[in-house]
Amino acid sequence: MKPILSLAIAALISTAPPVLARPGLAPAGGTPILRMTQAQPATGPEAQTPPGSDTRQGLRPAPVRGLAGAYLAARQAATDSDFAAAARYFGEAVAADPAEPFLQDGALVSMISAGEIDRAVDLANRLAQAGGDETELGVLLRRVDLARREDWTGVLALLDQGGPSPSAGGPMLDGLFRAWALMGAGRASEAFATFEQMGEGEGVAGIAAFQLALARAMVGDYEGAAAALDNPEASSHLQGVLARAQVLSQLERNDEAIAMLDGLEAIENEPALVDLRRRLQSGETLPFDVIGNAREGLAQVLVTFAGALIGDEETDPLALIYARLGQSLDPEMPDARLLIAQLLQSAGQFDLAEREFDALREAGQMRPAAELVRIDSLVRAERMDAAEAAARALTEAYPDYAQAWVALGDVLRQRDKFAEAVPVYDRALEILQTGEDPQATWFPLYARGIAKERSGQFDSADADFQAALELQPDQAPILNYLGYSWVDRNVRLDEGLKLIERAVELRPDDGYILDSLAWAYYRLGRYAEAVAPMERSVAVMSDDSLVNDHMGDIYWMVGRKREAEIQWQRALSLYKPEDTDTDVDRIRAKLNVGLDAVLEAERANGGTLPEGFGLPEPEPATVEASGSAVPPRP
C-alpha cells in the first residue's frame, strides 16, 4: 500500500541543528515560571463551581456576584484561545469585582495575549493605585511599561519595593531585569557584576553569559563579550551565533567567525547566516547590531524566556505573554514577531498569526526554516489553501532555496495536484544537483516519482524511484512504494515482491508495508500466505478503507466468504472522499455479485470493471398519461 507522505520538513527538522530550531535561548536546567495567582477556595454556597468551568491545574474560579455570565464567557473564550473576546469579558468581570486577583490575572493574560499591551498596562496601573495585593503578572507588566519608557530609575525602585514576593517570574527574571535596568541607568559596572553573579547559579550560566556578552558588546567591550560567548550555552542559538560572529569581526577575527559558521549544519536554512558568511569572506568588518540599548537587551530576555516555555507536547500559555511583552520593548525584533506568529498559529488563531507572518514578509525578515514549519503546521490543521499560498510565497521570496520548492511540491501532492507537482520537484532537483551532496536529491526524486506515478507517467516514475534507491538502498518507503506500484499494476511481480520483502525487514510493523506484502502474495496467487500479513496490517490500520478492502479480497480467495463480506462492508463504512485509492463501486459490486464475477468481468473488459457492473439497476422513471417522465417517489 502506498503510504501518505508527510511534508519534507520532517526530514529537514530532524537534521537541522538544534541551535537554529527556534529563536531564543532555553536556559539550562529548569525553565522560568511565572506563577499565576490562584483564587482562594470559597466556602458555603458560593464555593460551587459554575457549570462548564475549567478546574485544571488546581485553579478554582472565583465567584463573580452579579456577573457570572461575563466570567463564564471569558473562561470559554480563553479555552478557545479567542484572546480578544476573553479580554473583553474578563474586563467586564474585573469591573464588577476589581479586588479579585484571579480575575485580574485573567484580564491581563487575555489582553497581553491579544496584543492589547496599552490596555493591559492601564489596568495594571489602576489596580496598583487602588491598593491591595497585586498579582505577579501585574507587577511584571508595570516593570515592562517603565522599561518601555526607559524609566530605569523607576524599574529599580519597583524591583526594590517588591522584595522577594511577588517575584514577577522568579529570581532569574528579577536578576536579569535588575542588570539591564542598571545598564539603562548608566551603571554598567554594577550591571556586569550582576550578570556575573547570576552566572554562578545552577542552570543559569548560559543565559547569564549571553546577556553579559550583549551588555559588554553594547558598550564596545568586545574582548569581554567574546569571552562570555566562549561558553557554548551562551551562543548555541541563532542570536548567539549572530552576536558571536559580529563580536569576532569587531576584533578583526573574521577567519574564526567563518570557521564557526562552517561548523554549523544546514546553514543554508538561515539566509541571515549565509549573508553573514559572505560579508565576512569579503573582509567586511561587521557592526554589532544584535541590540542597541538596554530596552532591546531586556526584550531579548523576555523572548528567551518565551522560547524556553515552548514544549514539544505542550506549550506554557506564558510563552505568548513573554513574547508579547518582549515585542512591546522592541517592536522591530524579528524573533519576537516570529515567535508570536508561531504561538498564535499553534493556538489555532490563524488570522492573528497571518498578520504577524505578513509583517515579517513585508520587512524582509522571513526565515525559511520557520516558514517550512509553518507550512507543515497549516497542512496538519488541514488549511491547505493557506499552506499552498505560504509555500508559493516562500518560493517567490527565495527562488534558489530547494526546500521551498520541495515543500510546495509536497503540498500540491497532498492536494492531489500531481501533474502540477512534477515541475515543482523538477526545480528543486535542478537546484540540488548543482550542490556537492548527491544524497540531498533522494527525497525530491522519490516525491517526484510519486507525483508522476499518480499522474500516470509510470516509466518515468519508475526511473525516479530507482534513482532514489541507488542513493538510499535501505529506505523502506522507497522500496515499498516502487514494489507496490509494480504489484498493483500487475507488472514485475517477482521483483516487486523482493523490494517489499526488504522493506518488511527494515520496518516489520509498518501497516502500509505489511499491506503491500499481502497484496503482492495475492497478485501472485499465494492467497494462504497473504492472510497473516494482511491481518497484521488490519490490526495496525483498522480504520483504513483500502486495507479492509484488501482483507476482504484475500479472505474471499481462501474461502472465508462471509468474513470477506464483513470486511467489504467495513471498508464502505470507513470510506472518506480523500481515500482516492479505494474503489467504492468495485466494493459494492463485490458485495452484490461476489469477487469471482468481478474479476471475470475485468478480464473480459481489458482489466477494468465495466461501468455499472454488479450494481443494482436504477429504478425506472414512472410515466404519466401525458408521457412525461417524473422521478420515482422518495
pLDDT the model gives residue 619? 61
Task: Say if CB 410 and CB 383 are below 8 A apart.
Answer: no
All 3 cell numbers of residue 83? Answer: 484572546
Q: How many CA atoms lie within 13 A of 368 on its CB side?
A: 28
Contacts of 534 (CB under 8 A, 6+ apart): 514, 515, 518, 519, 547, 550, 551, 554
Reported confidence tier of residue 561, pLDDT bands at 50, 70, 90: very high
Instruction: Give me the amino acid identity at 295.
Output: R
pLDDT at 313: 64
For residue 403, give the nearest of 359, 365, 435 by alpha carbon: 435
Model confidence at 87: pLDDT above 90:
no
Q: In the structure grid, which three cell numbers stand for residue 54, read together?
A: 475549567
Please give the Cα distance from 517 to 487 (Å, whole number): 9
The pLDDT tens digits for 227-244 are 999 988 888 888 999 999
CA distance 359 to 373: 17
**Share above pLDDT 90 across residues of the chain, in percent, rounded to a whole number:** 58
The pLDDT of residue 35: 31
Burial 148-166 (b: 16+ CB within 10 A, else e): bebbbebbbebbeebeeeb
Local confidence band at 545 (pLDDT 50, 70, 90 cut-offs): very high
For the stretch 311-353, pLDDT in tens is 666 777 789 999 999 999 999 899 999 999 989 988 888 888 8
Q: Kindly tell me if the per-residue pLDDT of 509 is higher than 80.
A: yes
Dihedral angle computed from the Cα positions of residues 583, 589, 592 and 593, in that order, rounded to the nearest 10 degrees? -130
The pLDDT value recorded for residue 170 is 76
Q: Specify the pLDDT at position 103.
A: 83
Give residue 131's pLDDT.
Answer: 74
Give the range with max mean pLDDT: 42-46, 57-61, 383-387. 383-387
Task: Summarize the confidence of residues 376-398 as an average pLDDT.
Answer: 91
Rounded Cα gap, residues 367 and 375, in angstroms: 12
Q: Give pLDDT tens digits for 491-504.
A: 999 999 999 999 99
Secondary structure (3-state) at 630: strand
Three cell numbers, residue 25: 535561548
pLDDT band per the 50, 70, 90 thresholds, residue 291: very high
- Contact between residue 303 and residue 336 where contact means Cβ atoms under 8 Å apart: yes
Peptide bond into 166 cis (omega under 30): yes
What's residue 175's pLDDT?
A: 92
CA separation for the pair 16, 267 (Å, rounded) = 9
What pLDDT, on a 0 to 100 scale, did the predictor assign at position 377?
83
Mean pLDDT of 531-556: 97
Least confident of 4-8, 25-29, 273-277, 415-419: 25-29
Phi, psi (degrees; rounded to nearest 5) at 630: -125, 150
Q: How confident is the model at residue 95 (pLDDT cuts 50, 70, 90)?
A: confident
Render pLDDT for 174-185 as a digit per residue (tens, 0 to 9): 999 999 999 999
Segment (H or E) for 256: helix 254-262
Of 247, 244, 243, the C-alpha closest to 285 is 247
pTM above 0.85, yes or no: no
The predicted structure's pLDDT at residue 625:
42
**pLDDT, tens digit, for every residue of 214-223?**
999 999 999 9
Please tell me whether residue 622 adopts helix, strand or coil conformation. Answer: strand
pLDDT in tens, 244-269: 999 999 999 999 999 999 998 878 77
With residues binned 3-state (H G I as helix, E B as strand, rest as coil), the percentages for the chain, rounded to 5, are: 65, 0, 35
Taking the CB of residue 433, how many other CB atoms lie within 10 A of it?
Answer: 12
555 or 35: which carries more pLDDT confidence?
555
Query: What's the residue count for the chain?
Result: 634
Q: Which of 338, 55, 308, 335 shows the shortest CA–CA distance to 170?
A: 308
**Contact of 339 with 24, CB cutoff 8 Å:** yes
Contacts with 226 (C-beta within 8 Å, 6 or more apart), sequence order: 213, 244, 247, 248, 251
User: Between residues 105 and 121, which one has the greater pLDDT?
Assistant: 121
How far, CA to CA in Å, does 615 sit from each of 115, 538, 589, 633? 59, 27, 6, 21
Grid cell of 617 as nine digits: 439497476
How far is Cα 403 from Cα 431, in angstroms, rounded to an integer? 10
Tens of pLDDT, residues 450-487: 999 999 999 999 999 999 999 999 999 999 999 999 99
pLDDT band at 1 (very low <50, low <70, confident <90, very high): low
Asked whether 428 and 405 are in contact (CB, 8 A), the reply is yes
- How far is CA 441 from its chain centroid? 24
Question: Per-residue confidence at 74, pLDDT binned at 50, 70, 90?
Answer: confident
Rounded CA-CA distance 264/18 in Å is 10
pLDDT at 166 exceeding the cut of 70: no
Judge whether 294 and 186 are in contact, CB under 8 Å.
no
Domain 67-241: which CATH number of 3.30.70.2190, 3.90.660.10, 1.25.40.10, 1.10.760.10: 1.25.40.10
Q: How far, in whole angstroms, is CA 144 from its chain's centroid?
A: 29
Q: If DSSP states are collapsed to H, E and C, what string results for 508-555?
A: CCCHHHHHHHHHHHHHCCCHHHHHHHHHHHHHHCCCCHHHHHHHHHHH
CB atoms within 10 A of CB 79: 13
Helix 136-148 to helix 318-329 angle (10° resolution) is 20
Average predicted confidence (pLDDT) for the chain: 84
Q: What is the pLDDT of residue 242?
A: 94
> What is the model's pLDDT at position 620?
59
Other C-beta atoms lying within 10 Å of the C-beta of residue 224: 17
| Strand, coil or helix: 623 | strand
Which residues, listed in sequence order, are joined to residue 622 by a DSSP beta bridge?
A: 630
pLDDT attached to residue 218: 96
Q: Is pLDDT at 628 greater than 50 in this prediction?
A: no
Task: For residue range 29-55, list pLDDT tens digits in order.
Answer: 233 333 333 333 333 333 333 333 333
